[in-house]
Amino acid sequence: MVASLYGIDEANQTIWVYLEHEEGRLAGVSLELLARGRQMADQAGWELAGLLPGHEVAHLSPAAFAQGADRVWLLEHPLLEHFTVEAYTQAAYQAILKGKPSILLCGATPNGRDLTGRLAVRLRSGLNADCTGLRLNQQTGVLVSEVSGFGGGILALIEAPRHRPQMATVRPGVFSAGEADPRRKGELVRLGVELDECLVHTRLIERLSGPGVDLTGTAVLVAGGRGVDGDFELLRELADLLGGEVGATRPPVDEGHVKRERQIGQTGVVCSPEIAICCGISGAFHFVVGIEKAGTVIAINSDPEAAIFDYADYCIVGDVHQIVPALVAALKQEGQAVPAL
Ligand SMILES: Cc1cc2nc3c(=O)[nH]c(=O)nc-3n(C[C@H](O)[C@H](O)[C@H](O)COP(=O)(O)OP(=O)(O)OC[C@H]3O[C@@H](n4cnc5c(N)ncnc54)[C@H](O)[C@@H]3O)c2cc1C
């Protein structure tokens, strides 16, 4: 087995969270990881720290302290103004070798995945990707990561007992950020970082962003599957009346009826709406993990044996093309478009 660059004896009893940021704000997933990291650090009597690379980003540290960080390691350099995997990997690598954390947590975002893959190879540490749960064994200091495997058929608990840092990525929405405490204070530590411009092969030329949608925060989710037969306008009307958003299973996304950003599930978004209405969805494990945290689940399916009914609080057996229009008509008729939750 290849040894990591530093071992258990050298590692400090600290959990680091990589603080991803965009347009002057910390990413929601970083706040969620700080909240979960705080719980684990408290249980073990460890320190929680944020790793904050960027250019002129010190102003982001109070949000990390408010969310539970004891300390923020700040890495500032003009080459870190925009995320490039080369520069960020170099900077994070240098910081990790200085601070020697036992654990490094990172959002399973496109940039987070890119970064942690490279770091795991350089540090010879290994990486548990897309974890659905994390806990810390207080006696051994070993991170236990829950990962679904074999197409979702099993939940595997993975440990890397001999390698440091123990690294894991977690998708947005898996943990809750909870309440921040703006009065909480922490220590901001500036770390020197040496970056060689020649090693940075990518350059930001233009930044294009669409309207986008973040389903992780919606209170009402109206999700459609193959049974909707591509008629997502129907669901949009219902979602609008309820002040919610439309989501989908993978097949309608693959078929181009819905944008990828609206896919719910293991390879999509994990949501925690107060109400999820699942229309024409069979209830495959890969989808269900995306709505497991929903408050109330209402399922509409023409097949009374559909697995989705096992997860639903209210089960409606019938044709979605009849039931959804009837719901829409009823809501309109009563003039009681429910105010957004
Ligand atoms: C590694 C991997 C990752 C995956 N990740 C995801 C993921 O992130 N998200 C995801 O959703 N899937 C994912 N999948 C696919 C997943 O396994 C299922 O195939 C998918 O969720 C099924 O989508 P569905 O329920 O829309 O379609 P189906 O399974 O085909 O179900 C359609 C349902 O609609 C019902 N129906 C048909 N007509 C009507 C009607 N008129 N009215 C009412 N009901 C009707 C049927 O009874 C049926 O239950 C993944 C698969 C793999 C292997």
CATH number at residue 229: 3.40.50.1220
Give the contacts of 232 (CB within 8 A, at least 6 positions apart): 224, 246, 248, 252, 257, 258
Q: Is 208 exposed, middle or buried (0-12, 13-18, 19+ CB in 10 A)?
A: exposed
Which residue has its alpha carbon closest to ligand 1 atom 18? 284
2 domain-assigned: no
Give the model's pLDDT for residue 266: 84
Which residue has its alpha carbon closest to ligand 1 atom 43? 301
Are 146 and 53 contained in the same domain? yes
3-class DSSP assignment, residue 325? helix
- Quickly tell me which residue has 């959804």 as its tokens: 324
Q: Is the minimum distance from the CB of 257 to ligand 1 under 6 angstroms?
A: no
Q: Is the minimum distance from the CB of 286 to ligand 1 under 6 angstroms?
A: yes
Q: Is the minimum distance from the CB of 75 to ligand 1 under 6 angstroms?
A: no
Q: Is the minimum distance from the CB of 227 to ligand 1 under 6 angstroms?
A: yes
Boundaries of domain holding 320:
215-333
Are 225 and 265 contained in the same domain? yes
Are 193 and 58 contained in the same domain? yes
- Specify the amino acid at residue 126: G
Are 176 and 86 contained in the same domain? yes
Q: 75 near 87, Cβ under 8 Å? A: no
25 domain-assigned: yes
Give the model's pLDDT for residue 160: 94
Q: 281 near 225, Cβ under 8 Å? A: yes
285 C-alpha to ligand 1 centroid (Å): 9
Give the model's pLDDT for residue 283: 96
279 C-alpha to ligand 1 centroid (Å): 10
Write out pLDDT tens, residues 124-137.
999 999 998 999 99
Give the model's pLDDT for residue 150: 67
**Residues in the chain with pLDDT values less than 50:** none
Q: Is the minimum distance from the CB of 287 to ligand 1 under 6 angstroms?
A: yes
Q: Which of 199, 228, 251 is the last residue of a domain?
A: 199
Q: Is the minimum distance from the CB of 271 to ligand 1 under 6 angstroms?
A: no
Q: Is the minimum distance from the CB of 282 to ligand 1 under 6 angstroms?
A: yes
Give the model's pLDDT for residue 336: 57
Q: Looking at the 3D structure of the chain, how many domains does it have?
A: 2
Are 164 and 219 contained in the same domain? no
Give the model's pLDDT for residue 335: 72
Q: Which of 143, 175, 199 is the last residue of a domain?
A: 199
Question: What is this structure's pTM?
Answer: 0.80
Q: Is the minimum distance from the CB of 251 to ligand 1 under 6 angstroms?
A: yes
Mutate to test the pocket of ligand 1, among 132, 148, 235, 249 (most ligand atoms within 8 A of CB): 249
Q: Is the minimum distance from the CB of 267 to ligand 1 under 6 angstroms?
A: yes
Burial 303-339 (b: 16+ CB within 10 A, else e): eeebbbbebbeebbeeebbebbeebbeebeeeeeeee
Are 234 and 186 contained in the same domain? no
Q: Which of 148, 167, 199 is the last residue of a domain?
A: 199
Are 185 and 237 contained in the same domain? no
Q: Which atom of ligand 1 is the closest one to the Cα of 252?
A: 26
